[in-house]
Amino acid sequence: MNRTVAGSVYYQDDYVTLYHGDCLHSTQWLDADTLVSDPPYPNNAGHFVDGIQAARDALTAWHGGSAVIFWSEMERPPVSLPLVAVHIWHRPNVNGKPYEPAYHFDRDGKKRRSEVTRHTFLHSGVGPGSYEYAGHPTQKPVNVMAWLVQMSAGTVADPFAGSGSTLVAAKLLGRRAIGVEIDERYCEVAAGRLSQDVLVEP
């Protein structure tokens, strides 16, 4: 991938910069220290399948120090760093597949302990999992993304920022973050969440 810089700054504060654009062209995120993301990946739900190849291309281009990536359990995400752990998000309010794997890579190649966290799946409606929902069909809870962000150090990149959960998590942890989101609807959602400066309940 050519190291071109494009896209416009959609939101910025002391911790976070969010770009509206295509992460294959808005390449500022490649200068971060660690990658923490939930990119489009092969799934049976039909969510963002048109973006799967772009996700593969972006992950292939990543050569930072570490990465923690949600991906299908049927294949390993195409990150060139050594795989050091596979963490599991257990979703107790989901029928069928109540878990989602996050692959942990690090340049040092040292084995980490694979961890499991339990947190509700976000959804519209009422009850557990609805209070944080911001309208994104694959939105991750901020606490889950904070769990992953804390496994790394330095500036965080999320080239598939979506509704901004990774960016919000990084900011709440006092970490700098760079995000890119191609859909302006979700840039608006992410910017609104980032501007609130409100802690999310566990």
Residues spanned by the domain of 160: 8-196
pLDDT above 90 coverage of the chain, percent: 75
Q: pLDDT category, 123, cuts 50, 70, 90?
A: confident
Residue 115 — pLDDT band, cuts 50, 70, 90? Answer: very high
pLDDT in tens, 68-114: 999 999 999 999 999 999 999 998 887 777 999 999 999 999 999 99
CATH (domain of 151): 3.40.50.150
For residue 2, being part of any structural domain is answered with: no
Q: Is residue 160 part of a domain?
A: yes
For residue 89, give Cα distances in angstroms to 12, 32, 92, 138, 186.
29, 25, 10, 14, 23
Cα–Cα distance for residue pair 114/141, rounded to 1 Å: 19
- Residues 34-74 have pLDDT tens digits of 999 999 998 877 778 899 999 999 999 999 999 999 999 99
Gap between the terminal Cα atoms of the chain: 39
Residue 105 φ/ψ, nearest 5 degrees: -120, 145
Alpha-carbon distance of 21 to 2, in angstroms, equals 15
CA distance 111 to 118: 22
Angstrom distance (rounded) from CA 163 to CA 47: 14
Does any domain span residue 32? Answer: yes
* pTM, 2 dp: 0.90
Amino acid 3: pLDDT? 42
Look at residue 3 and tell me if it is in a domain: no
Identify whether 202 is part of a domain: no
Residue 55 falls inside a structural domain: yes
Reply yes or no on whether the pLDDT at 5 is more than 60. no
Is the pLDDT score of 31 beyond 70?
A: yes
Angle at 166 between CA 19 and CA 4, to 5 degrees: 30
What's the structural domain count of the chain?
A: 1
23 pLDDT exceeds 70? Answer: yes
pLDDT > 50? residue 1: no
87 falls within a domain: yes
On whether the CB atoms of residues 147 and 117 are closer than 8 A, the answer is: yes
